[in-house]
Structure formats: C-alpha cells, structure tokens
Structure 1
C-alpha cells in the first residue's frame, strides 16, 4: 500500500475478504474475537426471536388504520421483499461469516465510506427498533397488570414525557418516564453480559413460548371469524397497502440479526443460509395467519390506538380473562427475546466497526471469560434505554424501516459485486436466478422507501449528517486501513 493516500482513495478503500475472515479466527492478536457457540436451531430462533413480537404484537394497531383489511397484502408484500433479500443475505453470510452483517459486506465490496454509512444506518435501525419494542413491551406489561390486579401502572411511570405531533417531538406526554421499557433494556443488558451461549439458550426458550402463544391466539380467534370484517378490503387502495408494507418491513430486522451472529455460529457457511431462510418462512407464515384471524374477529376501525391488541381481541371475543392473560404473559416473555436479540445485533455491529478503527476501541474489548463485549453492551443499553424511556413509540417505527431497507439494498448490491470481483470465493449458498433476484430485491426495497413519510427522511438526514461529521473528524484517521503516514488531499 502507498505511504500516502488521496482523500478519494481513503473513502473508497476496501477491506479484503480474507482479512475479514482471518480476524474471526484470532489471527490478529491486536483485536478481540468472539467464540463460536451458537447452534443451527439457536440461530433460527435468533431470527424468529428478533422478528416475531415487533410485527404482530404491536404493528397491527399502526398499519390496519392505514391499509384496512388489505394489511394482509402488506404483510405478504413485505415478506416477498424480505425473501428476495434473505437469499442475498444467505449468499453473503456463507462467504463472509463475520460480525457486522451488511456493514462488513459493504466494506468488502463498496468501500469504507459506504460501509461506514451502512454501519450508521444499522446502528440507527437496531437502536430505534430495540427502543420501539421495549415501549410496546411496557404496554403488554400494563395490560397484564390490569388483568391480574385490576389496574395498570401509573401513567407517570409508564409513559414518555414527549409526544409525537405529526411525527415531530413535543412536550406534553402523560408521564415522566416509561420505566418498564427502561427496565427491560437493563435486564437484557445483564443477560448479554453473561455471555452469548447463555443468551442464545434463553432466547430459544422464549421463542418457543411466543410461537405457542400465537398458535393459541389463531386457534381461539378463528372461532369468532367473520368475513364481513374484511369489507371494504382496501379503503385506501394500493397506496395504503404500500405505506403499511413500508412500516411493517422494519420487523424483518431479524434477518439482519441472524447475520450479525456470523462470528459466533458453529459451521457458519452451512448454518447461516439455512437459518436465514428457515426464519423467514416461519415468521411470514405466522404473521399472515395471525393477521387474517385478528382481522376476522374485529372490524378494522377497532385497531386504531389499541394497546396490547392481541390480548384485547381475545378478551373481547371470549368475555373471559384467561385467554388474554395467557397471551399477555406470552407477549411479555416473548417480546423480551426481541429486545434481547436486537440489542445483541447492535453490539455486534459496533464491535465490527470498532475492530476496523472507525469508532473507539472500547466497543471491541472482549471479556476473556464470557467472550462478550461488556463495555459495548452497557453503552448500547444506556442509549436504547434512554430512547425507550422518553420518546413516544409512533415516531420510531418508520425510521427503523428506512435503516433496514438501506442495509438490504447494500447486501443485494454486494452479491452482484462479489460475483464479478470474487467469482472463485467459496460460497455455501448461491442466489438462484442471478442477477434477476438481487435486482428485484434492490428495486422493491427502493419502492418501499419511497412510501415512507417526509419527516422520516428529515430525521434520517440529520442522523447521517452527524455520522458524516464523526467520520471526517475521527474515523477516516483511525481506520485500520490507514497507513502510518500523513495523508495528501485530492
């Protein structure tokens, strides 16, 4: 490498795939590395755990008012787009089984500046998603308290002090702090600090509980099914379907979360592709079945503003508390797993960026006993917990979708680039119908992005501006690809 690099060269420099992989094997003693302890079943449960909970337990109250009963089509549309991207993720993950997910893939294919901004998108995506889920968990916990004790938590301790006025923050919320949401983030932080192996086992148990709870909901709800609730089917037309699909799409962050575990998975070239595809099939099937039965039980108009929606639906349908109690308890347990896996993914993205020198080294220090990045995990928990405690939920959903879709576009582009630049690199899985499917994945993701609200772009632009300032003041000089010499400007 030249002792001097122009600024343009620095922005576009790539990290060799071979170096990415060697770091995961402890070949570079300067950096921390993680241990491989996650099995295929646990990895599938990671994907399901990071996805189911956000989409079906909360987002119906956000999307049914937009699309009406045609929200079923929105779920299928989001699932198809996620499926196209899942195949691209499967190929990339089988080639580059490292922490960092689409950030690491972008570093190997598109260059440092693109990778850095993808990393910034992922940090936003995971952080906001974990906060949104924690707030939703607080609502189900409140519902559980109402069923068991006859009254919920006081608003002062279970609601944010800020509200969303046309997707803009303003003072005037019902409470001082959403304490349950902050406590959930703290508990997940403690579990992750104990180690990845223990966290993966606990998550697998919680995911099996949540699948059982959703099957119970479907079995009971189908007894009150009425086709009349599906009329009118699409009151807002295709525009409403597309807008709802864009909002729903954030729930598929679970697919990206699977690939963030690439450095800690047994036999990653085989297990990563299998886990991504299996998680997608399980998630989409349960989403559609739950949405159909929920819409068959109550009119679309009843979903708006409905807290702990699935539990409330069962309570209204049966006139009894026990089904709603079981569902609320299951939601409280299962949504814990969503927060756990999303926080895990956030820490692994930061771990990879720190190992590359783009953010402070604090984030890639690993505890030698638990092989987990403790300081990293605590920092993430403080950030996520603060957002969950003080920011209202509705401003967070679409912002997460934009970050997710941006990452998905990069992964699909990365597949095509590596097919040309590294055709002989071993692949445990190859995208079928290449290059049609990667191109369709990019186009469909761009379409969903175009349906998001203007305010989301404004907030996203502010975040990227702040990220750019940090990159040019810190990251570009600290990058591990930076030679120990003064840089010339182009």
Structure 2
C-alpha cells in the first residue's frame, strides 16, 4: 500500500537529460549559495527564543541542530543528484517510495516553506518596527505591531510584507545573481561587525549558569529543535547538483562548508550576545519557566521593559537590541537596517519554493490542475501564488515567530526523515543506478539523520508536535477525496517538466525489468 504508484525514475531522468543544464558551479559558488540561503530569521530573530529555553547553553543548541542538518544534507545530495528536477523531497519520495508517501511529504513541505515564510515575515516586522522607532522616532501602535499572543490585534507590517512579496512573485519579478550576492554580503558584513564589537566586551559572569534549564525539551535540546530553523535553506546547495562541476567532490564541499561557516558564525554571534549583554531566561514572579511565544512571557517582558530593563529574550530584534544596549546605538540601527533589507529576500525564496511544490503537485494531478495554470502575460503560476501568499500573510498577522518556526520545523524534520529513508531504500532496491554523488558511509550517516530528525521532533513544544499529525490527517483526507482518483500516474500519464510546460501529459513509458547497468546522466 505504501509503495504503490511509484513514479518511473527513468522517465524523470529522461526529462532531466533533455534539459542538459550547463555544469558551471564550483565549490566557492555553492558555498556562497548555501550561506545566502541559510542566514536569515534564525540568527537575526530566534536568538532570543533560543536564549529563553537554553540561556547561554544555546551555543550547544546551534551545534546539535547543525550536525543534524549536516547528515541530512548528505542524504539530500545523493537524491538531488539522481533526480535533478523540481519538487524537492516530494519528487524524490515519489520516485522511491510511491505516491501516498510522496503526497504526505509534499503536504508536510507546506509547513516548511509556507509557514517559514510567515515566520520570516514576523521576524522582519520586529526589525522594521524597531528601525522606525530608533531612527525616525515613529512608533507603530502595539495593537498593530504584534498579534494577540503579545497583547496586540494584528501584526500589520508582517501582513503587508508577505502580501508585497506575493505580488512581486505573481508579476514575475526575479532576483538576479548579482542582487543575491549583494544580500549575502550585507548579511555576512552585519554579522561580522556584530561579532567584532561584542566579543571584546564579553564577561564571564554572563555565562553563569551556562545551562539554566537543563538539557531536555525545555532546555538545550528543545532550543536546538527551535534553532534548527536557522539552518533551513541548505538544500539550495544540493538542488544545484545538476549544474555543478564534478558534483561528487563539489556538492559535499559546498554543503559542509556552508553549514560549517554558518555554524561558526552562529556560535560567535551567540557568544557575543551572551557575553556582552547576558542571555538568561526570564522567569515568572514565582520563578516558573515561561515558554517563548506565550502571553505570560509577553506580559512579563512588558513589565520588565517598563522598568527600563529589557532582557535579550524579550527583544523582537535581538542583535540590534544587543548593540544598542552596550552603547552602539547607531551601529545597532545599521544591523536593524541590514535585517530589514535582507529578510524580504528570504520570504521571497520560501514563497517561491512553496509555489513550486504546489505547481509540481498540481501537474501530477494530485491537486486541481487549475493551480498549475500560467498567467498569459506574467508567465507565472499566479493562482497558486496568490492563494499561498494570502494564507502566509494571514498566519504572519496573528502568530508569533517562535511558534511559526517550531511548526515549520516539524514539517521540515519529517521531509528530511523521509529523504534519509529514501536513500537507504534506493541503495537496496536499485544499487546499480548511476549516482553522481554518493552519500559517504551511508549506513551510518542516514540512520544518524533519521535519529536526529526524530530526536529534534520530539523535543519541539507539544503544540508544534501535534500540528504535524493533525495536518497529515487533513492531507490524507484531501488525497483520498481528490488526488487518489485524479493522479496522473494512476491514469497512466506522466507529468510535464520545466523544459516544455505547455505540453500535455504523456503516457508513462514501460519500465525495464531491471535497472540499466552503467546508466549515465546528462
């Protein structure tokens, strides 16, 4: 039942051969691509969320989350080099484990991309509001600057930026490679400046106690489950495998280098923030633990801020707040400006990724094919982009960034879990298939990815853990009511790929009895 309706891998590979993408990317380009995709809301905003759970111990949280991402990335690379087409983990699972599980992965990827776009929008809102206040003395009313979780009504800036990016995607605006390079430089320069200013100001007393809430789900490991969001985006490296020179060598270099560089940045940034200002969790009046994203924490933070002492864990613009608090007011504003400029591009990338997943699922017949329609003038999937953007804006308007990040992580961890399983299954069922990149020590790396994903998932807050099975049940209902009957594979058709978007679906070619030895990919 689980492994039925497997999409023919040979048909997918034949499409990839027709595309014949030029192999031009080297290790440096891949590393820069990874850094640009990874650095975003996680470090600029979620530092405060992690500090509330782990205190100074969040430095260990960054290491744990980075390690799980590294082993998952190596699994991701093998499949992306074998199936170098749109669809991400959804397409890989379809080719290996069948339609039902592929649908579940695609449905879970909504939590990764769409909810992540909402989280980044909320993170951008915090820096936007802080920048207006500190630089222009414009105060956004609290009722319009945060959702009900913090005593507000609606997070209007987050709502507007999500709608703006949606509109840009609908009319076909694309980022150039040069613009992306500029944004990477802005983010890296901002973090480097932060490190250079705060590391010399570190005080040992600010690191004591180092693990105030222990190592469990409300401590270091729980913070790792949340800060995992800071690394999401590394799969941009693995999905570029078909355009990479010598992918067997350069893909792992790009993956490990980008993850390694970002982990070092994150450790230095967190050390600077902790050492210069302190990052102990805020507790209730009776000493109880207050969870991030709750009204109780928001009320306690409001009371402390009214007394003139706003802790790091209470700030919605963590890095800018640290610099302002230690005497670098104007440079803090510049850090806020850097986040203000760079984070919308992350929203765009997440929204683009989500619409692409929906687009491929609609062309597979698992969603209404109207969603895959192309605007005659803009040449974009405008229907699915508009629907996705509306729901992204809605969730950004009312939910806190920490909650959104945790929900996003639940979907991402499930997708990575399935990718690791797929790698092991395909090694057994199709061992002779040509693999431009092979996961090293796969029987160690893939199980570590599986265990790591499960471990971080069960360390998420209970409400974020429950979202995944509830969301999954809703997805199954939609699948059996619609996708089960409308699927192109069930009807003997194969989907259209990027090289010919206007062509009708074609019959699935007959599958050989055994894999073709020595198969070579274009």
Shorter-chain TM-score category? 0.7 to 0.9
The 3-state SS of whatever aligns with 1:300 is coil
1:134-149 pair list within 5 angstroms: 134-149=121-136
Aligned positions of 1:202-213 closer than 5 A: 202-213=179-190
> What TM-score, normalized to structure 1?
0.86
Are the counterparts in 2 of residues 413 and 438 from structure 1 also a CA contact under 8 Å?
yes
Q: 2:335 aligns with which of 311, 314, 327?
A: 327
Match of 1:427 in 2: 435
Q: Paired residues, what number?
A: 459
Q: How does 1:364-403 map to 2 (within 5 A)?
A: 364-366=372-374, 372-403=380-411
Tell me, yes or no, if structure 1 residue 174 matches structure 2 residue 152: yes
From 5, 21, 40, give the equivalent of 1:13.
5
Q: 1:38 to 1:352 in 2, by over 3 A?
A: farther
Structure 1 residue 364, shift from structure 2 partner: 3.1
C-alpha displacement of 1:283: 1.9
Cα deviation 1:265-298 (Å, max 9, x = unaligned): 5769577655434432232221111111111111
Q: Deviations over 1:234-283 (max 9, x none)?
A: 122221111111111123221235556678x5769577655434432232
5 Å-filtered alignment, 1:91-490, equals 91-160=78-147, 162-163=148-149, 173-175=151-153, 177-193=154-170, 195=172, 198=175, 200-239=177-216, 240-259=219-238, 275-301=254-280, 302-318=311-327, 320-366=328-374, 372-483=380-491
For residues 19 and 370 of structure 1, the distance between their equivalents in structure 2, rounded to whole angstroms, comes to 30
Contact 2:55 2:211 in 1 (8 A): yes
Deviations 1:8-44 (A, max 9, x none): 48x62211222223445679xxxxxx99899667765
* Residue equivalent to 2:285: none
Instruction: Give the whole-Å Cα distance in 1 for the aligned partners of 2:261 and 2:360.
Output: 29
Match of 1:170 in 2: none
Q: Find the residue that maps to 2:149 and give its secondary structure.
A: strand
Change (3 A) 1:189 1:22: farther
Task: Report the CA distance between 1:483 and its aligned residue.
Answer: 2.8
Whether contact under 8 Å (2:73, 2:238) holds in the other structure is no
Output the CA distance in 1 between the equivalents of 2:257 and 2:170. Answer: 28
- 1:250–1:401: 8 Å Cα contact kept in structure 2? yes
Shift of 1:192: 3.3
Alpha-carbon distance between aligned partners in 1 of 2:313 and 2:69, rounded to the nearest angstrom: 26
For the 8 Å contact 1:50–1:339, the answer to whether it is kept is no
Aligned-partner Cα distance in 1 for 2:314–2:33: 29
Q: Secondary structure at the match of 1:396?
A: helix
Residues 303, 45 of structure 1: CA spacing in aligned structure 2 closer, same or farther, 3 A cutoff? same
In structure 1, how many angstroms separate the alpha carbons of the residues matched to 2:384 and 2:47? 33
> Quick check: 1:366–1:374 contact (8 Å CA) kept in 2?
yes
> What is the root-mean-square deviation in Å for CA atoms of aligned residues?
2.8
Which region of structure 1 is more displaced relative to structure 2, 451-460 or 196-205?
A: 196-205
SS at match of 1:12: coil
Question: 2:276 & 2:335 partners in 1: Cα distance?
Answer: 16
Q: Secondary structure at the match of 1:397?
A: helix
* 2:112–2:411 CA contact under 8 A, matched in 1: yes
Shift of 1:163: 2.1
Structure 2 matches for 1:10-89, cutoff 5 A?
Answer: 12-24=4-16, 44-89=31-76
Show structure 1 runs of 5+ residues with no match. 1-7, 28-33, 165-172, 486-490
Q: Distance in 1 between matches of 2:388 and 2:228?
A: 23
Indicate conservation of the 8 Å contact 2:226/2:406, yes or no: yes
Distance, in Å, in 2 between the alignment partners of 1:404 and 1:432 is: 22
Shift of 1:403: 0.9
TM-score, reference length from structure 2: 0.81
Cα shift at 1:392: 3.0
Paired with 2:463 and 2:101, the residues of 1 have a C-alpha distance of 23
- Greater Cα shift, 209-218 or 222-231: 222-231
Displacement, 1:96?
A: 1.0
Structure 2: distance between partners of 1:457 and 1:382: 24
* Distance of 2:113 and 2:433 partners within structure 1: 30
Partners of 1:188 and 1:22 lie apart in 2 by 34
Cα distance, 1:379–1:127 mapped onto 2, change above 3 Å: same
The CA deviation string for residues 123-166 of structure 1, in whole angstroms up to 9 with x for no partner, is 12211111011011000011111111123322233222x328xx
